[in-house]
Amino acid sequence: MGSVGDEPPDDRGYGDGWEELRQQTLRRDGYTCTRCGADGRTLQAHHVVPRSQGGPDELENLLTLCRPCHGVIHQSNSSFDDVRDEAPLFPDRDTPESVARMREPSDGFCSRCGHEFEPDELVAWTDVPPADDTTSAPDHLTLCKPCAGFVLETVPACDREALTSNHRFGIHELSAWRLDAPVRPSVFAFSQVAVRREPRTYRERLVDDTPLRFVWNHVGIRWLTLVAIGYVLLVLAVASI
């Protein structure tokens, strides 16, 4: 890790050749953060494979990150706590995969359905209003494209101007995706987006809109249920012989 500008380099025991290697990394990356594209912040060299895991001090294992984005990658490092919130919520669209993370781990999950998505499959709702007069609102909510389309259509407080992402999307696209949003929100969904969608098919009415969804829509439980049913049928078949 190192800095650029007037601050002295942070060697942290990396060896005599570290400063030159750090400068090579910054030079190769055009003195810009490879996560957000910033060039006016303190820039540091990040090990893609951490040194603690055997990652070498080599140019191929280093990427340039601004200090806030470096904190996004090192969530457990408290030395970044003062700047982590300055990092953009989304990484740039062409960010290298190894550093293409949302600002907080929880931001990679849709706030309505609870499923995990890649950043380019998410839309953020900013300026979220409080659910009522007695509660405070989160700074933002992240939504998968289907849930974003459904919330945009259903929740009056959410409008197109309040939605942002790291990719282009249109109202017509969101409108088309809304039909793929789950019928019921996650039990942990924020109240601002905990909106039920009307079921359209028999499966949605019989499974997705009933408590059966907790069994059938969970892959592990679904297979366990099928195995249990198969076992019962086998036992009944053997008993009838």
Angle, vertex CA 56, rays to CA 51 and CA 57, nearest 5: 95
Give the phi and the psi of residue 135 in degrees, each rounded to 5: -120, 155
Residue 14 above 80 pLDDT? no
Q: Which residue has 């007069």 as its token pair?
A: 133
Instruction: Give the alpha-carbon dihedral of 55, 58, 60, 61, to 10 degrees.
Output: 30
Return the number of other C-beta atoms located less than 10 Å from residue 188's C-beta: 10
**Which range among 40-49, 101-110, 130-139, 221-230 shows the weakest confidence by mean pLDDT?**
221-230
Specify which residues 47 forms β-bridges with.
Answer: 62
DSSP, res 105:
G
Q: In the prediction, which pLDDT does 118 show?
A: 95
Cα 156 to Cα 121, 184, 185: the distances in Å are 23, 19, 17
- Report the alpha-carbon distance of residue 165 to residue 162 in Å, rounded: 10
Q: Is 19 exposed, middle or buried, given 0-12, 13-18 or 19+ CB atoms closer than 10 A?
A: middle
- Report the pLDDT averaged over residues 109-119: 96
Maximal C-alpha separation, the chain: 86
Q: Pick the more confident residue, 5 or 68.
A: 68
**Does pLDDT of 51 surpass 90?**
no
Is residue 11's pLDDT more than 50? no
> What b-and-e string marks burial along 142-165, b requiring 16 or more CB atoms within 10 Å of the CB?
bbbbbbbbbbbeeeeebeeebbeb
Give the pLDDT confidence score for residue 220 in this predicted structure: 60
Mean pLDDT value of segment 109-122: 95
For 214-240, write each residue's pLDDT tens digit.
Answer: 665 565 655 676 777 888 888 888 887
Q: What is the pLDDT of residue 239?
A: 80
Per-residue pLDDT tens digits for 118-174: 999 999 999 999 987 777 889 999 999 999 999 999 999 999 999 999 998 888 888
